[in-house]
């Protein structure tokens, strides 16, 4: 099928995005062609502006368009508790729990970071955080996989050097989840972590 070349190019670009398959890319591209020109430009400009201006906060790694992020400069937050997470999307989810401490985001897959240089790049700002004398607890909120376990152990050993208590999010049954359908490891963790009723 011969599509107009700029239409094909747009579909090719859209299909590179996560969760967007060829059918959805085609649908989105045809939709974009029908947008008023102003709205198509707004979308394109939003992409460019976000990409150019948003970067990890140099102190905590949370994505921001300022020199220091909104969370770091928020004096109403509890500086004694630092939640360490892998991605800004994790912070967005954790924030909804009402957590009012501060954060440290590893931005593992952020383009500025090279996975092989994880320690070199992120240890410096994390050490700065831990050494400021205000942090009393580090809450590890890393994904429960091998990678998350390795990172957790590494950060825990770092924190213990500074005499900081290290906790991590409880593993167990998801609320509303059926015991019958829980995977074995989750159920084992739930059993190990059982609490007095």
Backbone angles phi, psi at 140, to 5 degrees: -85, 120
Does the protein bind its own copies through residue 81 (CB under 8 A)? no
Residue 64 lies near its own copies (rule: CB under 8 A): yes
Positive or negative, the CA dihedral 127, 131, 132, 135 is: positive
Of 32-40, 119-127, 154-162, 167-175, the window that binds its own copies (rule: CB under 8 A) is: 32-40
- The residue within the footprint of its own copies, chosen from 2, 117, 194, 195 (CB under 8 A), is 2
| Least spacing, CB of residue 114 vs its own copies, in Å | 13
d(CA 36, CA 34): 7
Query: Smallest distance from the beta carbon of 29 to its own copies, in angstroms?
Result: 7
Dist CA 178 CA 143 (whole Å):
21
**CA–CA separation, 51 and 53 (whole Å):** 6
For its own copies, give the closer residue by CB, 71 or 139: 71
The answer to whether 118 contacts its own copies (rule: CB under 8 A) is no
Distance CA 28, CA 34 (A): 10
Residue (32 or 166) nearer to its own copies, CB: 32
19 three-state secondary structure:
coil
Please list every residue from 124 through 153 that binds its own copies, using CB under 8 A. Answer: none
Q: Is residue 157 involved in binding its own copies (CB under 8 A)?
A: no
**Cα-trace Rg, the chain:** 21
By CB under 8 A, residue 110 contacts its own copies? yes
Task: Tell me, by CB under 8 A, how many residues bind its own copies.
Answer: 65
CB of residue 47 vs its own copies: minimum separation in angstroms? 4
User: Are the beta carbons of 161 and 182 closer than 8 angstroms?
Assistant: no
- Residue 120 touches its own copies, criterion: CB under 8 A: no
């Amino acid at each position: 099928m011969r599509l107009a070349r700029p239409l094909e190019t747009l579909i090719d670009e859209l299909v590179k995005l996560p969760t967007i398959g060829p059918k959805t890319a085609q649908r989105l591209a045809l939709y974009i062609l029908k947008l008023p020109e102003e709205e198509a430009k707004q979308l394109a400009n939003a992409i460019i502006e976000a990409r150019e201006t948003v970067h990890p906060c140099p102190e905590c790694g949370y994505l921001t368009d300022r020199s220091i992020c909104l969370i770091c400069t928020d004096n109403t937050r509890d500086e004694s508790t630092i939640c360490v997470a892998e991605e800004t999307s994790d912070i967005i989810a954790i924030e909804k729990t009402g957590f009012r401490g501060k954060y440290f985001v590893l931005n593992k897959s952020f383009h500025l970071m090279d996975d092989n240089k994880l320690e070199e790049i992120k240890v410096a700002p994390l050490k700065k955080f831990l050494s400021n004398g205000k942090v009393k607890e580090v809450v590890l909120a890393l994904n429960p996989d091998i990678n998350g376990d390795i990172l957790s152990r590494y950060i825990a050993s770092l924190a213990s050097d500074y005499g900081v208590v290290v906790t991590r999010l409880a593993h167990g049954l998801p609320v509303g989840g059926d015991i019958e359908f829980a995977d074995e490891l989750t159920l084992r963790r739930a059993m190990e972590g059982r609490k007095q009723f």
